Structure 1
Amino acid sequence: MKKERVILVGVETEANYKIFEETMIELKSLTKTANGEVVFSLTQRRPQVDRQTVVGKGKLAELEQLADAHEADLIIFNHELTPRQSQLIGDAAGIPVIDRVQLILDIFAMRARSREGKLQVELAQLDYLLPRLIGQGKNMSRLGGGIGTRGPGETKLETDRRHIRNKMIIIKRELKEVAAHRERTRQKRKDNQTFQIGLIGYTNAGKSTILNVLTSAETYEQDQLFATLDPLTKKWRMPDGFEVTLTDTVGFIQDLPTQLIDAFHSTLEESQGMDLLLHVVDASAENRQQQEETVLKLMEQLDLDNVPLLTVYNKADKLDVEQFVPTLFPNVLISAKSLKGKAELTQAIKQVIMEHFLPYTLELAQSEGALMNRLKRETLVLSQEYQEDAQTYLIKGFAPENSYAIRKMEES
């Protein structure tokens, strides 16, 4: 598939200068993920963006010349554009213009696999494009699968606003049904007292790799932004026999479009019911602390800051371990792709679980084999010792407060 030739545009202002360079690098990665080839990056420093055209008049004229010189197909701005700005810049440059939000929505449209994922992306796209219907004619006629045109498609967007609003109502209704089904499944896991672990973190930090390493889930695992979109839950039996579920979620990013936070709320809400969250961080990323802050801020917005958290610093193979200084605690530093990494991560998870469980000691008769198996599945069994004198097994471990093991210990 032929790559589209793209010019990136960003304005460094008093409001964004701290993260400007990183967001431009990220924009380049996003463009690459959407099958675009960056032929030029145009940047400008201003106290604030121009209300009409984001960049100044001189830069706008330069943009038109650059589009011709590089035979560009598309211009992508690193800022959310108003419908008016988009139209004015597009008219001046003579080629289609989209912004960071539309690019991210486009990648989500590529990545969505499940019915829910596709519905949520379509809802976010319609919500974003509704106020931008005027002046979309030129852009939306690029139906050769161009960046920014995936998803709802031309016919849906060329019909009147009422049709789009009706479509959004239908999608919201369908999403409610899907969310209700998800809630029933989640409740079932809760009722079965299954310990639930959620993977969260910045996009491309290695969440899917960790899920695959622990559960052999074989999810889509690629060095790309937003490689995972649909939440995936897999069962993981820890070495001692304790059974938990692991749920992978969509990666976070700087300035995640509000349409996406709204549209993916049910997906991210999955994390609210977790017993433990693994915050996966790319330890080798240059802007690691900025990424950590982005995730923690979004967690706060989603009311996830009260769920127990273990920070997993991943990609240790890409850095000097001796020089590494962690910023979040508790943590573990691993390389998910190494065998040692799997063992270290398992041990760290076990440690956090023990801190949130209660210790128990139980004596079981030889005939209670089924109960022993149950304890191994539902609790962290640390030791089992056969006592010859009494012909019983002494089991020691850690279990959730309302578990069968704790109740049985209290009864005896």
Structure 2
Amino acid sequence: MSEYPVSDDVRLQPPGSPEIEIAARTRTLVIGPYPTRNAAPPASGAAQAQNLRSTAARLDEAAGLAAAIDLDVVQALPLNLQRIRPATYLGKGRVDELAGLIKAEEIGLVVMDCALSPVQQRNLEKAWGVKVIDRTGLILEIFGRRASTREGTLQVEHAHLAYQRSRLVRSWTHLERQRGGFGFLGGPGETQIEADRRMIQERMTRIERELETVTRTRGLHRRSRARVPYPIVALVGYTNAGKSTLFNALTKADVLAENMLFATLDPTARATRMPHGETVILSDTVGFISDLPTMLIAAFRATLEDVIEADILLHVRDVAHPDTQAQAEDVGQVLDELGIRSHADRIIEVWNKADLLDEAERTRLLNLSVKDGEGGRHDRDSAAPVLVSAVTGEGLPALTSRIEARLARSRSAFAVVLPPEDGAQLHWLYENAEVLDRREEVNGTVHLAIRVAPEKEARFLHRFPGARTLHRTG
């Protein structure tokens, strides 16, 4: 019989008490306990998607998550599991073997790249004498440190409370005693665990009310944008795919863009002008990751509202990463949960980090992607991806050309002739339409080919009743 209990003697910190701060530079051991192929199949689609990855890539990602909050990763150790033990996740021999390593290396924190039950977490902490966190706890820790806006902070707290609440069930045995009937909260016979569960729920309800207020404010902002309508182009992709670097390259902004997982958590939006004059709102979003905790998917849905409502999604992929296809599947799964995958005509795949490819692979991918880097229009209806380097700028003209071509599907084109003295009308066209072509006669008469968004077409035709239709949508 195992010396580790499966449902007893689990003591976690009560709600409201300070969290144990994971200090920067803590000596950390990252363990990847991955079931072998002949082990019991995973229950969730997320786990199945993760199995597409190599063990080395999965372990490297786990170490990257730990490094993202400045932990000193002493070693990243893969373990092949034939069976998951209910008490400690690992077998007793493994637990004892790792105890020696932890002591010898003076490890202060163990990160388990899996989902641990409260019982498993506590038993491992008792066996090893150090703090243990699982993948979900590590991601929550990262999100808690990175969120900077009021909305992001509330969402992280809500997700953390949901995680904490799930760990109250049959695990806090020191809370099983009954409370008396004193005070304003808790009636006679209410156990401490019930009281703590209620306290967590009350705090979550308050946060949800605050989030509703924040969401309404964001809705007002979106409606105000709709009054001066610009298309929304949202960047999505696996964490560390280079979305923020691409965002900066396209908008000339200065959003945090570092080679780390989850460098961006709070959504950022900027207006930027396309080469032919069209103004778009570019939105940078939180990166996706395999096995993203379900409470975070729900909590961060509000930050992904721009993604849900976007006219175009730029799915940014790190094509230099060995598991780029598996990462793309994870992103697709989250988009499915947001109800976006069915609108695949809105998605443009952006193959980023071309500068990190060797010449043979770069040539191969370039042959599969859009090769028109001069802003031509022959690829208008193509579904081919766009190979770019957000760092060097390679492929960005082809990308902006593709964005314009995709937007053009819902826009009509017209020919306009202006007398040389009509500068006001010319200025209006440059401010409110895409100028596709411009020619001037010797006498100064200007011939323009322009494209107009549907919501501005009526105003355009009112100002330019003599415009000739070149292309009509619908």
What does the per-residue CA deviation read over 1:349-389, in whole Å, with 9 as the maximum and x for residues that have no partner?
22322344333323445565444333323332201234568
- 3-state DSSP class of the match of 2:64? helix
**CA shift for structure 1 position 94:** 1.6
1:53 deviates by 1.5
The question of whether the paired residues in 1 share the 8 Å contact of 2:24 and 2:69 is answered with no
The Cα of 1:136 is off from its aligned counterpart by 12
Alignment of 1:198-209 (within 5 A): 198-209=234-245
- Higher mean C-alpha deviation, range 326-335 or range 264-273: 326-335
> One-letter code of the match for 1:98?
I
Hey, what's the Cα distance between the residues in 1 that align with 2:83 and 2:314?
A: 38
The aligned length equals: 391
> Using a 3 Å threshold, how does the CA distance of structure 1 residues 235 and 312 change in structure 2: closer, same or farther?
same
Instruction: Tell me, in whole angstroms, the C-alpha distance in 2 between the residues paired with 1:335 and 1:398.
Output: 29
How far has the Cα of 1:8 moved from its partner?
1.8
Gaps of 5+ in 2: 1-22, 42-47, 175-192, 370-381, 467-474
Task: Give 2:335's aligned residue.
Answer: 299
Matched, 1:404 2:457: yes
Separation in structure 2 between the aligned mates of residue 323 and residue 87 of structure 1, nearest angstrom: 50
Counterpart Cα distance in 2 of 1:316 and 1:340: 8
More off after superposition, 276-285 vs 39-48: 39-48
Distance 1:341 1:34 in 2: 33
Greater shift in the superposed pair: 376-385 or 200-209: 376-385
Post-superposition offset of 1:64: 1.6
What residue number does 2:287 align with? 251
1:20-169 matches, cutoff 5 A: 21=55, 22-132=57-167, 160-169=196-205
Q: Compute the displacement of 1:207 (Å).
A: 1.0
Work out the CA distance in 1 between the residues paired with 2:279 and 2:325: 33
Deviations 1:82-113 (A, max 9, x none): 11211122222221111001101111111111
Question: SS of 1:203's equivalent?
Answer: coil
Residue in structure 1 matched with residue 207 of structure 2 by the alignment: 171
Q: Could you tell which deviates more after superposition, 39-48 or 250-259?
A: 39-48
**Among candidates 246, 264, 267, match of residue 231 of structure 1:** 267
Q: Secondary structure at the match of 2:447?
A: strand
1:19 aligns with 2:19: no
Query: Given the superposition, is the C-alpha separation of residues 402 and 273 from structure 1 closer, same or farther in structure 2, using an over 3 Å criterion?
Result: same
Q: Distance in 1 between matches of 2:259 and 2:245?
A: 10
Q: Distance in 2 between matches of 1:295 and 1:268?
A: 13
Counterparts of 1:210-359 in structure 2, within 5 Å, are: 210-305=246-341, 306=343, 308-319=346-357, 320=359, 321-324=362-365, 326=368, 329-359=383-413
Q: Computing the radius of gyration over CA atoms, which structure comes out larger, 1 or 2?
A: 2
Q: Which amino acid in the other structure matches residue 396 of structure 1?
A: A
Residue deviations 1:178-235 (CA, integer Å, cap 9, x gap):
1111111112212322111111111111111111112121111111101111101101
Partner Cα distance (1:262, 1:300) in 2: 13
Percent identity (aligned): 35
In the other structure, the counterpart of 1:141 is none
**1:181-196 to 2 correspondences below 5 Å:** 181-196=217-232
| Structure 1 contact 205–282 (Cα < 8 Å) conserved | yes
**Contact 2:59-2:78 at 8 Å conserved across structures:** no
Aligned partners of 2:238 and 2:287 also within 8 Å: yes
CA distance in 2, matches of 1:405, 1:213: 34
Q: Which SS does the other structure have where 2:454 is aligned?
A: coil
Q: Could you list the runs of 5+ residues in structure 1 that have no partner in the other structure?
A: 138-156
Deviation digits for residues 118-169 of structure 1, max 9, x if unmatched? 11111111111123355699xxxxxxxxxxxxxxxxxxx9x93333222111
Partner Cα distance (2:107, 2:173) in 1: 19
Which one of 428, 431, 434 corresponds to residue 377 of structure 1?
Answer: 431
**Counterpart secondary structure, 1:108:** helix
Partner in structure 2 of residue 143 of structure 1 = none
Aligned to 1:222, the other structure's residue is in SS state coil
Q: In structure 1, what is the Cα distance between the partners aligned to 2:277 and 2:213? A: 35
TM-score (norm 1): 0.87
- Between the aligned partners of 1:309 and 1:367, the Cα distance in structure 2 is 43
- 1:399 touches 1:405 (CA, 8 Å); kept in 2? no
AA of the residue aligned to 1:310: I
* SS of the residue 1:324 aligns to: helix
Quote the Cα distance in structure 1 between the aligned partners of 2:465 and 2:406.
27
- Aligned equivalents of 2:259, 2:75: Cα separation in 1: 23
* Alpha-carbon distance in 1 for matches of 2:394, 2:76: 41
Q: What is the alpha-carbon distance in structure 2 between the residues aligned to residue 405 and residue 65 of structure 1?
A: 76
Q: Distance in 2 between matches of 1:405 and 1:216?
A: 33
Q: CA RMSD in A?
A: 2.7
Range with greater deviation from structure 2 (373-382 or 191-200):
373-382
CA distance in 1, matches of 2:385, 2:459: 28
